[in-house]
Amino acid sequence: MLANNPIYHKMLSDFISHIERREHGSGWMIIDKGLFRDNSSFCKKDVKRGGEIVLNLFAKWKSMSDKDLEYEIDMFLKGWDEKR
């Protein structure tokens, strides 16, 4: 079973760290879409990859914790392994 291979887990975790670049001024944030969808002031349309929405508002969101990230990686690898 490939999903139990720690190399895949480490690679995905390192990739998330790479795109977030929390220690730098530029990078991407992974946020909970539930808070986005529950706020009535937001447009309810998804933004396509590379698209933008400009909003002038006060917002609150929940960032993914390390525990959540580990869970999501494990679930992804489990599903990915079953598809192979």
Note whether residue 75 is domain-resident. Answer: yes
Domain membership of residue 77 as a residue range: 29-36+57-84
Angle ∠(77,61,19) on CA atoms, nearest 5: 45
**Could you report the per-residue pLDDT of 15-62, keeping only the tens digit for each?**
998 888 888 888 888 877 665 555 555 555 667 778 877 766 666 777
Q: What is the number of domains present in the chain? A: 1
Note whether residue 2 is domain-resident. Answer: no
**Could you report the per-residue pLDDT of 51-82, keeping only the tens digit for each?**
877 766 666 777 888 898 888 888 888 887 77
- Residue 76, classified by CB atoms within 10 Å of its CB into exposed (0-12), middle (13-18) or buried (19+), is middle
